[in-house]
Structure 1
Amino acid sequence: MIYFDNSATTVVDASVLDTYIQTTKRIIGNPSSLHFLGTQADRLLQQARGQIAELLNVEDKEIYFTSGGTEGNNWVIKGTAIEKHPFGKHIIISDVEHSAVGKAAAQLETLGFEISRAPVDQKGRIKVDALAALIRPETILVSTMLVNNEVGAIQPIKEIGKVLESYPNIHFHVDAVQGLGKLPLQNWLTARVDFATFSSHKFHGPKGVGFVFWRRGRKLAPLLNGGGQEFGGRSGTENVPGITAMSKAVRLQLTDEEAKCHQQRQLQTYLIEALKTFDNVSLFTEPTDEYAPHIVCFGINGIKGEVLVHAFEEKNILISTTSACSSRSHVTGSTLHAMGVPGDIGTTAVRVSFSSHSTMSELEQFLVSFRHIYEKFSKVSR
């Protein structure tokens, strides 16, 4: 099997899985318990927090553990709305946000909040001037993704941050779920970014665990109330085995980060150059610094994306339509629509996504299968 759907989820690294299993076996206490088993669990929890903070070059108490990217995005968006609603009810997102952001914002609209959506250019990148023009005195939050999960476009986080330097009371949230290990942290995690969300299963960690970077001094209301865990920000008994394994996954992901990104960029460039030789292929990703190195979005003209996904599946190659979260509900890719791609072209789109585990040998096999599939559909359409 060739697995090229790493933007949907990644295979858990073997050593990360071993950490999860061993921690589950050895650490049985609740971190909030006062006895020695609780102390043992809490010590491991704080070690994991400290390791992640050190790797991100932030403070330990700026790392809050969650169940993943969806919870993290909902927490920052709704938590800001709850905390700051006396000062305004206006929130800015972009036209290309993941549904975890888009639907959270849409729910707030039903409660009287106003949501503005910043447009993107033909490459899927937010128009910074257009976003700046949307800011009002009552704006309380700007929320944008770091890397678009459909086409791989890298958003201009530094440029948006510079705009927001003139508005220090506005929270700035970055959905960084697709970005860890793909872009150097110093390229986007500036002093103006107040919150960033991460999800373990996107970087070879276990599912059901993630974390939020919450800059000290910013205020955010909790969504989960109860025992007061996570410094009172997120109640609920912490998933110590998952968190411990995730902290190892973060360390492994950021080890030799530059070499891993270069390897994925080589795969991306090779695939895009190969696809360019086929007349009926539409490409929505470019192998440039404006795109993350692990995503290639393309389509065969006249062939629905889901048809192409199943054609590859028959050859034991797994890819995706543009967003795994919307694949089963047959939602048309919002990013391509926002980029101005015509609907009949947008519905052909599929996504190939690599990880540091992907190889050139796998890509060569992919291209052999692609040629067979392309010829098959070409004969049918003649």
Structure 2
Amino acid sequence: MMIYLDNSATTRCSDGAFELMKEALLENYGNPSSLHKMGYKGKDYIKESREIIAGILKCQPKEIYFTSGGTEGNNLAIKGGVQAKKRLGNHIITTKIEHASVLNPIKALEKEGFEVTYLGTDEYGVIDLEELKAAIKPETIFVSIMMVNNEIGALQPIEEACKIVKKANPDIIFHTDCIQAFGKMSLVPKKLGIDILTVSGHKIHGPKGSGFIYIKDKVRVVPQILGGGHENGMRSGTENVPAIAGLGVAAQEAYSKLDENRKHMYAMRARLIEGVSAIDGVSVNGHLDENSAPHIVSVSIKGNRTRAQVMLNALQDNYGVLVSAGSACSSNKPAISETLKSIGLEKDLLERTIRFSFCPENTMEEIEEAISALTDLVPKMVL
């Protein structure tokens, strides 16, 4: 039996999303730019998904642009937003705990001469609003702060941050990476004060290679992919109709049961935290209560043989539990997680942290199995 608890990395495509994608791939496969019946059907899929997402965000359909996912969306938001504002200043504000798809475009802009302020966090992974306020300068043109941290589930005070930024200068673009937030909480960008919001489809049971970016009407962003003028000129390239159709279904499914899903995931999170906290040498990072996202638990494990990759392999091979490393590392260039460093995690635990992440399809029985696996495994690994 396999217990999949790595849903912050990717989710299973929902049956509903898959069925509509199959229809768009095999039956109504026309190019949406074509002026015939099958082309018009392709346009209909796109229109319907755009309207579904606009309804969820309570925005205008024309403010939604489809992308290939979170990385493209974040690059478009950051590079395009900064380029649109560069005549007004050269200062960018972000946090130390952003996803690589935010930090790397910003670092690229930094190499081009833009000044960047990287905000730190407290021990729970939450920014200090006073630090944000102090960081704003007359030259500030762009702020990017994620809504939910992908490693420990920290929730950022986005509404309060937006108010601070817009009070200082309403022309500053405020962007938030909502890749771990969309589908897990109610999001109304105009209420929050957000100018640009990015989402990835495969985190919410949509297909990989799907996503969207919300750009508030009248906010200028310079397109990064040029061509035939698709997506109202914002993102050229023939639209991935099946992926867009599947994304619309997944979004609708997520928000049709939002309260029920949140309650279920928070219950699983609370039980996992309770269970693993009872194991000697195990600690949980971030907020333990509902001041954190409902679907992420970061666990650090003391011991000589508890490096993240070793624990991942042991949980998978011996117990059928699939989780991920808490540190952002790759096989070619290992790197210590900036999030874990930012929360002040002791050095010995930086490479001994794993992440459990759930979805509504997970069960309490699976959580009990995961607790049992860790309870059995940890004493064997702390020697």
Query: Which category describes the TM-score, using the shorter chain as reference length?
Result: over 0.9
Higher mean C-alpha deviation, range 301-310 or range 188-197? 188-197
Q: What is the aligned partner in structure 2 of residue 375 from structure 1?
A: 379
Note the 1:109-120 alignment, pairs <5 A.
109-120=110-121
> In structure 2, what residue type is equivalent to 1:139?
T
Cα pair 1:272 1:286 within 8 Å, conserved: no
- 2:205 matches 1:182: no
Q: What is the aligned partner in structure 1 of residue 334 from structure 2?
A: 330
Residue 34 of structure 2 aligns to a residue whose secondary structure is coil
> In structure 1, what residue type is equivalent to 2:325?
T
Inter-partner Cα distance in structure 1 for 2:28 and 2:224 = 27
Cα pair 1:321 1:327 within 8 Å, conserved: no
Q: What is the aligned partner in structure 2 of residue 134 from structure 1?
A: 135
Cα pair 1:164 1:192 within 8 Å, conserved: no
> In structure 2, what residue type is equivalent to 1:304?
R
Cα pair 1:285 1:295 within 8 Å, conserved: no
Q: What is the aligned partner in structure 2 of residue 345 from structure 1?
A: 349
Inter-partner Cα distance in structure 2 for 1:364 and 1:283 = 17
Cα pair 1:287 1:293 within 8 Å, conserved: no
Cα pair 2:92 2:140 within 8 Å, conserved: yes
Rate the CA distance shift 1:189–1:352 in 2: closer, same or farther, 3 A: farther
Note the 1:173-322 alignment, pairs <5 A.
173-186=175-188, 190-302=191-303, 303-314=306-317, 315-322=319-326
CA apart distance, 1:191: 4.9
Gaps of at least 5 residues in structure 1 are: none
User: Aligned pair count?
Assistant: 377
Cα pair 1:322 1:333 within 8 Å, conserved: yes
Inter-partner Cα distance in structure 1 for 2:364 and 2:44 = 42
Inter-partner Cα distance in structure 1 for 2:286 and 2:364 = 19
Q: What is the aligned partner in structure 2 of residue 161 from structure 1?
A: 162
Inter-partner Cα distance in structure 1 for 2:193 and 2:291 = 21
CA offsets 1:38-97 (integer angstroms, 9 cap, x no match): 222112211211121112211000100000000000100000121111111111100110
Cα pair 2:90 2:114 within 8 Å, conserved: yes
Note the 1:72-91 alignment, pairs <5 A.
72-91=73-92
Rate the CA distance shift 1:370–1:189 in 2: closer, same or farther, 3 A: farther
Cα pair 1:281 1:300 within 8 Å, conserved: yes
Rate the CA distance shift 1:248–1:176 in 2: closer, same or farther, 3 A: same
CA offsets 1:230-287 (integer angstroms, 9 cap, x no match): 1111111100111011000000011121111111111111111112212211210333
Higher mean C-alpha deviation, range 213-222 or range 269-278? 269-278
Off by >4 Å, runs of 4+ in structure 1: none
CA offsets 1:284-303 (integer angstroms, 9 cap, x no match): 03332321011000121022
CA offsets 1:112-161 (integer angstroms, 9 cap, x no match): 11111011111000111101111111111100100000000000101101
Inter-partner Cα distance in structure 2 for 1:287 and 1:26 = 48
TM-score by length of 2: 0.96
Cα pair 2:67 2:210 within 8 Å, conserved: yes
Across the aligned residues of Structure 1 and Structure 2, the Cα RMSD in angstroms comes to 1.3
> In structure 2, what residue type is equivalent to 1:298?
V
> In structure 1, what residue type is equivalent to 2:172?
I
Higher mean C-alpha deviation, range 19-28 or range 233-242? 19-28
Cα pair 2:136 2:165 within 8 Å, conserved: no
Inter-partner Cα distance in structure 1 for 2:366 and 2:316 = 14
Inter-partner Cα distance in structure 2 for 1:282 and 1:327 = 24
CA apart distance, 1:37: 2.5
Rate the CA distance shift 1:301–1:260 in 2: closer, same or farther, 3 A: same
Residue 21 of structure 1 aligns to a residue whose secondary structure is helix
Residue 371 of structure 1 aligns to a residue whose secondary structure is helix
Residue 145 of structure 1 aligns to a residue whose secondary structure is coil
Rate the CA distance shift 1:266–1:290 in 2: closer, same or farther, 3 A: same
CA apart distance, 1:327: 4.3
CA apart distance, 1:189: 5.7
Q: What is the aligned partner in structure 2 of residue 366 from structure 1?
A: 370
Inter-partner Cα distance in structure 1 for 2:71 and 2:110 = 18
Residue 226 of structure 1 aligns to a residue whose secondary structure is coil
The percent identity for this pair of structures is: 38
Rate the CA distance shift 1:121–1:84 in 2: closer, same or farther, 3 A: same
Cα pair 1:97 1:144 within 8 Å, conserved: yes
Cα pair 1:229 1:235 within 8 Å, conserved: yes
Higher mean C-alpha deviation, range 198-207 or range 131-140? 131-140
Inter-partner Cα distance in structure 2 for 1:301 and 1:116 = 33
